Amino acid sequence: MATVLIAGNTGLFTQEALERVAADNTVVLAGSDAAYDGKLRNIRVYETTPMEESFAQLFDVYAFEALWYVSGYVDGGEGAFGEVQMLERALNESANAKLEKFVLLSTIETQNYSVRYSASGGMAERSYPDSRVFSAAQMEALGRFFADKTGMKVITLWLPHVADRLNDKNFLGQVFRKMHRKEPVTFPHSRDDRVDILSASDLTDLLLQITDETDDDTASYFAVSGYLYTYGQLEDALRQAEPTVQVDYENRPDDIRWPDYPAQLRRRYGFVPLDFVPERIGEYYKYFVDEVYASEEGFLRRFLRRLGSGVFKYFELIVVFLLTELIAQYTSESVYFRFVDVRLAFIVIMGTVHGMRLGIVASILEGLVLVGQYMKIGMSGTLLFYNIENWIPFVIYLMAGSIPGYVRDKATEEISFGKKEYDLLRNKYVFLTNVYHGAIQNKGDFKRQILGFKDSFGKIFDAVQKLDSELPQSVFLEGLKVMEEIMENHTVAIYTVDAWQRFARLVACSGSLLSRLTVSMRLEEYARMFETVKGGGVWRNVELLPDMPMYACGVFQDGEVVMMVLLWEASPEQYGTHYTNIFQILCGLVQTSFLRAMEYEQLRHDQTTVPGTRAVTPERLDQILAVQEEMRQAGAAEYLLLRFEDRDPVHVSEALTGMVRGSDTLGQGSDGCMYLLLTQMTEKNFGIVGQRLADKGIGYQIVEKVGV
Per-residue model confidence (pLDDT) at position 297: 46
In a domain, 328, yes or no: no
The count of domains in the chain is 3
Rounded mean pLDDT, 517-529: 88
Answer yes or no: do 617 and 585 share one domain.
no
Answer yes or no: do 477 and 576 share one domain.
yes
Lowest mean pLDDT among 419-423, 450-454, 549-553: 450-454
In a domain, 68, yes or no: yes
3-state secondary structure of 625: helix
In a domain, 493, yes or no: yes
In a domain, 290, yes or no: no
Answer yes or no: do 617 and 598 share one domain.
no
Burial state string for 131-151 with b = 16 or more CB within 10 A and e = fewer than 16: ebbebbbebbebbeebbeebe
Strand-pair category, 3-8 with 26-30: parallel
Q: Does the pLDDT at position 443 exceed 80? A: no
Q: Residue 543: which CATH number?
A: 3.30.450.40
In a domain, 643, yes or no: yes
Answer yes or no: do 572 and 630 share one domain.
no
End-of-domain residue from the set 603, 628, 647: 603
Quote the CA–CA distance of 442 and 461 in Å, as a whole number: 23
Look up the domain containing 141 and give its range: 3-164+189-229+248-275
CA distances from 263 to 206, 210, 253, 267, 503 (A): 13, 15, 25, 6, 57
Per-residue model confidence (pLDDT) at position 582: 84
Instruction: State what percent of residues in the chain have pLDDT above 90.
Output: 14
Q: Residue 699: which CATH number?
A: 3.30.70.270
Quote the CA–CA distance of 139 and 77 in Å, as a whole number: 14
**Taking the model in full, what pTM does it have?**
0.50
Q: What is the DSSP letter of 65?
A: S
Quote the distance between the C-alpha of residue 502 and its chain's center: 55
Summarised one tens digit per residue, pLDDT across range 186-239 is 898 899 999 999 988 899 999 999 998 888 889 999 999 888 889 999 888 888
3-state per-residue secondary structure call for 353-408 = HHCHHHHHHHHHHHHHHHHHHHHHCCCCHHHHHHCHHHHHHHHHHHHHHHHHHHHH
CA distances from 638 to 454, 515, 633 (A): 29, 10, 9
Q: Residue 116: which CATH number?
A: 3.40.50.720
Contacts of 642 (CB under 8 A, 6+ apart): 675, 676, 678, 693, 700, 701, 702, 703
Answer yes or no: do 102 and 200 share one domain.
yes
Answer yes or no: do 653 and 558 share one domain.
no
Quote the distance between the C-alpha of residue 245 and its chain's center: 41
In a domain, 92, yes or no: yes
* Cβ pair 268, 209 in contact under 8 A: no
Answer yes or no: do 502 and 587 share one domain.
yes
Per-residue model confidence (pLDDT) at position 141: 93
Q: Does the pLDDT at position 503 exceed 60? A: yes
Q: Specify which residues 105 forms β-bridges with.
A: 70, 157
Q: Where are the beta strands (DSSP E) in 111-267?
A: 114-116, 125-127, 153-159, 161-163, 185-187, 197-199, 219-222, 247-249
Quote the CA–CA distance of 450 and 71 in Å, as a whole number: 36
Summarised one tens digit per residue, pLDDT across range 452-480 is 555 545 556 566 666 667 677 888 888 88
Answer yes or no: do 564 and 634 share one domain.
no
Strand-pair category, 153-159 with 197-199: unpaired
Average pLDDT score over the chain? 82
Q: Which helix (H) or strand (E) holds 103?
A: strand 101-107
* Cβ pair 86, 49 in contact under 8 A: yes
Answer yes or no: do 559 and 579 share one domain.
yes
End-of-domain residue from the set 548, 576, 603: 603
Summarised one tens digit per residue, pLDDT across range 61-120 is 888 889 999 999 998 888 888 889 999 999 999 998 889 899 999 999 999 888 876 655
Lowest mean pLDDT among 102-111, 302-311, 364-373: 302-311
Quote the CA–CA distance of 592 and 32 in Å, as a whole number: 59
Answer yes or no: do 489 and 577 share one domain.
yes
Answer yes or no: do 652 and 586 share one domain.
no
Instruction: State what percent of residues in the chain have pLDDT above 70.
Output: 87
In a domain, 366, yes or no: no
End-of-domain residue from the set 603, 632, 660: 603
Q: How many other CB atoms sit within 10 Å of the CB of residue 402?
A: 18
Burial state string for 291-307 with b = 16 or more CB within 10 A and e = fewer than 16: ebbeeeeeeeeeeeeee
In a domain, 420, yes or no: no
Answer yes or no: do 552 and 668 share one domain.
no
Contacts of 505 (CB under 8 A, 6+ apart): 495, 496, 497, 498, 519, 520, 521, 661, 662, 663, 679, 680
